[in-house]
């Protein structure tokens, strides 16, 4: 076939594929949102909670939901599209025209590859922004908790009272200890009255204690009174579990560069970073699950070319079964990677590597 015929064929196959992919994505998204909407209504719809707030929260979650559902939609669209082409004898006609299976299926890898790169780009900026905003709406509007912690410039800010702010460099999740502490106490007109720098903030004997620091008082005459200390009790209204909850960084709310910088700072300071590193590599790997699912869908369908029935139910069953096992393996690998049982990079790419191996194995058994 000449180049024009091949181009027209690719255009036909991709357009057919995109139509089915759009339907599959819409169906999966509708099911997910319907279930989530009912759940949010049950949890949050009270006398003082507006339905519009719940809808706004779900709207902010849509980018993340699409991100999570895309591999399933790709797999389902691949199975249905190739199954339909086989049922209508279109694949047989293409092969009779001298086009081999690999050239036919190449059209179904172009878009998933482009989509994988697009999802990776979205995870650098769009998704963390919408995730963070959704978290804000859920905590402050729906759950009506004050939003007091802010992560910016790789540091954590917390408002501990009306006129007192705390800056934290690092949080040790294994103990009730914070590192790199700066406390700022302001006057009623927001003039700086006192600044305390300490190496640690530790909870001991039911009280919070600052360790190894300097206290600075800013006097009315412009002088600064400096007082070093080894231990200094500080009045914080938070229990350790509550404070750790407020200061715990949610990796999904950080951009990938922000997360990478935070991991570097943890490692430079000698603190374990596997919890965040596993998430970091997992976020780089997951967008390419769409390409892996396309390869797996192609291999499964090509092995059933001799059957001429439209297996829509089987396609849906395959999608749910494979998607379920992918999520189980991916979550398990990330979990043991966070626990430093296996290297975080290996944990992040385990599911993709396993399912890609299965896809290539099935492809090796396909007859041309």
How far is 366 from 337, CA to CA, in rounded Å?
35
Which of 100-104, 168-172, 198-202, 297-301 bottoms out in mean pLDDT, i.e. has the lowest? 168-172
Q: Residue 318: name the closest of 368, 355, 287, 364 by CA.
A: 355
Q: Which residue has the higher pLDDT, 53 or 366?
A: 53
Residue % of the chain over a pLDDT of 90: 29
**73 and 187 together in one domain:** no
CA dihedral for 334, 338, 342, 344, sign (positive or negative): positive
Residue 153: pLDDT band (50, 70, 90) is: very low
So what's the pLDDT on residue 368? Answer: 56
φ, ψ (nearest 5 deg) of residue 225: -95, 120
Most confident range (mean pLDDT) of 117-131, 183-197, 266-280 is 117-131
Q: Average pLDDT of 93-114? A: 83
Quote the CA–CA distance of 227 and 215 in Å, as a whole number.
5
**Residues 96 and 24 reside in one and the same domain:** yes
pLDDT tier for residue 254 given thresholds of 50, 70 and 90:
confident
Shared-domain flag, residues 17 and 82:
yes
Taking the CA of residue 270 as centre, how many other CA atoms within 13 Å lie in the half-sphere pointing to its CB? Answer: 1
Whether residue 166 is found in the same domain as residue 107: no
**Mean pLDDT for the stretch of residues 299-312:** 68
Question: Of 204, 234, 249, which residue constitutes the final position of a domain?
Answer: 249
Helix (H, G, I), strand (E, B) or coil at 46: coil
CB 77 within 8 Å of CB 21 = yes
Residues 241 and 174 in one domain: yes
120 occurs within a structural domain: yes
Identify whether residues 121 and 54 lie together within a single domain: yes
Please tell me whether residues 14 and 118 are part of one structural domain: yes
pTM: 0.78
Does 231 reside within a domain? yes
SS3 178: strand
Domain that holds residue 104: 3-125+275-364
In a domain, 334, yes or no: yes
Q: Are 263 and 47 in contact (CB under 8 A)?
A: no
pLDDT at 141 over 90: no
Q: How confident is residue 355, by pLDDT bands cut at 50, 70 and 90? A: very high
Question: What letter does residue 200 receive in the DSSP assignment?
Answer: E
Same domain, 180 and 105: no
- pLDDT the model gives residue 272: 74
| Domain end among 249, 265, 284 | 249
- Quick check: is 265 in a domain? no
Look at residue 273 in the predicted model and tell me its pLDDT.
80
Task: Please give the tally of structural domains in the chain.
Answer: 2
Are 82 and 180 part of one and the same domain?
Answer: no
**Is the per-residue pLDDT at 282 higher than 90?**
yes
Assign 46 a pLDDT band (cuts: 50, 70, 90). Answer: low
How much is the CA Rg of the chain, to the nearest whole Å?
27
pLDDT of residue 290: 95
Q: Quick check: is 287 in a domain?
A: yes
Where does the pLDDT of residue 2 fall: very low under 50, low under 70, confident under 90, or very high at 90 and above? low
243 has pLDDT over 70: no
Q: Which of 249, 266, 287 is the last residue of a domain?
A: 249
Inter-CA distances, 45 with 40, 42, 55, 131, 362, Å: 7, 6, 11, 21, 49
259 or 310, higher pLDDT: 259
Of 275 and 72, the one with more pLDDT: 72
The answer to whether residue 191 sits within a structural domain is yes
Q: State whether 19 and 98 are in the same domain.
A: yes
Q: Is residue 139 part of a domain?
A: no
| Shared domain check, 303 and 205 | no
Tell me, yes or no, whether 243 lies in a domain.
yes
């Amino acid at each position: 076939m000449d180049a024009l015929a091949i181009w027209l064929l690719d255009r036909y196959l991709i357009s057919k594929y995109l139509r089915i992919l759009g339907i599959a994505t819409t169906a999966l998204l509708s099911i997910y949102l319907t279930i989530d909407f009912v759940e949010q209504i049950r949890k949050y719809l009270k006398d003082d909670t507006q339905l519009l707030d719940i809808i706004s929260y779900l709207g902010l979650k849509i980018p993340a939901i699409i991100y999570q559902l895309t591999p399933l939609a790709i797999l389902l669209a691949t199975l249905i599209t190739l199954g339909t082409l086989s049922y209508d004898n279109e694949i047989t006609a293409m092969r009779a025209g001298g086009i081999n299976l690999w050239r036919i299926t190449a059209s179904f890898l172009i878009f998933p590859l482009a989509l994988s790169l697009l999802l990776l780009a979205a995870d650098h900026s769009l998704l963390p922004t919408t995730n963070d905003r959704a978290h804000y709406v859920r905590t402050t509007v729906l759950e009506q908790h004050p939003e007091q912690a802010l992560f910016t410039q790789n540091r954590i800010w917390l408002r501990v009272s009306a006129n007192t702010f705390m800056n934290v460099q690092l949080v040790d999740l294994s103990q009730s200890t914070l590192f790199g502490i700066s406390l700022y106490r302001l006057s009623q007109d927001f003039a700086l009255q006192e600044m305390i720098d300490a190496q640690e903030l530790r909870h001991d004997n039911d009280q919070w204690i600052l360790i190894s620091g300097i206290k600075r008082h800013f006097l009315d005459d412009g002088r600064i009174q400096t007082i070093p200390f080894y231990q200094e009790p500080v009045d914080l209204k938070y229990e350790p579990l509550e404070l750790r909850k407020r200061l715990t960084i949610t990796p999904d709310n950080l951009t990938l560069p922000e997360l990478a910088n935070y991991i570097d700072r943890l490692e430079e300071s000698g603190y374990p970073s596997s919890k965040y590193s596993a998430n970091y590599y997992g976020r780089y790997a997951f967008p390419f699950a769409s390409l892996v699912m396309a390869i797996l869908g192609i291999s499964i369908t090509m092995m059933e070319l001799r059957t001429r029935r439209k297996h829509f139910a089987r396609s849906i069953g395959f999608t749910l079964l494979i998607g379920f096992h992918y999520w189980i393996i991916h979550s398990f690998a990330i979990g043991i990677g966070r626990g430093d049982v296996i290297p975080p990079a290996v944990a992040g790419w385990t599911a993709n590597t396993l399912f890609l191996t299965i896809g290539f194995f099935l492809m090796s058994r396909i007859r041309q």
